[in-house]
Amino acid sequence: MTTANRTMLKTMAAIAAVATLMLMGANRIAMAQGAAPSAPAAPAPAMDEPGTRSFTVVAVEVDDAKIWLPSVIAVDQGDKVKLTLKNLVPGAVNQHGFTIPAYNVTEVVTRGEPKTVTFVADKAGVFPFSCQLHPAHIGGSLIVEPKK
Ligand SMILES: [Cu+2]
């Protein structure tokens, strides 16, 4: 192999390595924005003090369905969880509920007035959340991964 070829190979390897790093970086950004790519209204979680997991959870209407998004919120047992609740459902009814019975979280969220709730996810498991005002509305699950 000539020196020129070897130099060329090294350059190509370097370019491939940089491209891989860039791809990994893009992945990380996509993951940081939450587990719900179907939630265009949910902005990326805000930065917070270490140990706090912050999520914006929005009530939206799709056709006739009222849905809290993201539908899955996953944290680790022991995390401090901060939820910013926003009601973006249009129409005459301007209040929707948000409840996680297992964690004694129950809020009424008025459109235009986001609410913040914080709690420590001390129990592991899968816990449903929903709108306590309108049982037909679609909720989701809080998943608390057990501590290893
Ligand atoms: Cu509702």
Q: What is the pLDDT of residues 30-76, one digit of tens each?
A: 444 444 445 455 555 556 677 799 999 999 999 999 999 999 999 99
- Shared domain for 21 and 58, answered yes or no, is no
Say whether both 74 and 113 belong to one domain: yes
Quick one: pLDDT at residue 50? 74
Same domain, 112 and 60: yes
Q: Would residue 43 count as lying in a domain?
A: no
- Looking at per-residue confidence, does 27 or 82 come out higher? 82
Amino acid identity of residue 73, one-letter, is: I
Mean pLDDT of 78-85: 97
Specify the pLDDT at position 148: 82
Mean pLDDT across the chain, nearest whole number?
81
Examine the domain organization and report whether 21 and 65 are in the same domain.
no
Q: Is the same domain home to 136 and 68?
A: yes
Domain that holds residue 90: 52-145
Task: With a cut of 50, say whether residue 135 has pLDDT above it.
Answer: yes
The tokens 């001390």 sit on which residue? 122
Decide if 95 is inside a domain: yes
Q: Which residue has the tokens 């940089």?
A: 18
Residues 119, 53: contact at Cβ < 8 Å?
no
Ligand 1: centre distance to CA 44 (Å)? 24
Q: Which residue is it, tokens 């209407």? A: 61
Q: How many domains does the chain have?
A: 2
> Once rounded to an integer, what is the mean pLDDT over residues 8-37?
46
Paired with 22 in beta bridges are none
pLDDT confidence bin for 4, thresholds 50/70/90? low
69 lies in the same domain as 6:
no
Residue 10: pLDDT over 90: no
Alpha-carbon distance of 74 to 80, in angstroms, equals 12
Q: How far is the CA of 148 from the centre of ligand 1 (A)?
A: 36
pLDDT at 25 over 50: no
pLDDT value of residue 56: 98
d(CA 68, CA 95): 13
pLDDT of residue 44: 53
Cα of 65 vs centre of ligand 1, distance in Å, is 10
What CA–CA distance (Å, rounded) separates 95 from 61? 13
For residue 92, the domain's CATH number is: 2.60.40.420
CA of 147 relative to ligand 1 center, distance in Å: 33
Distance CA 143, CA 148 (A): 15
What CA–CA distance (Å, rounded) separates 79 from 51? 6
Q: Does residue 112 carry a pLDDT above 50?
A: yes
Query: Do residues 63 and 7 share a domain?
Result: no
For ligand 1, the distance from its centroid to the CA atom of residue 97, given in whole angstroms, is 5
Calpha distance 22→145 (Å, rounded): 30
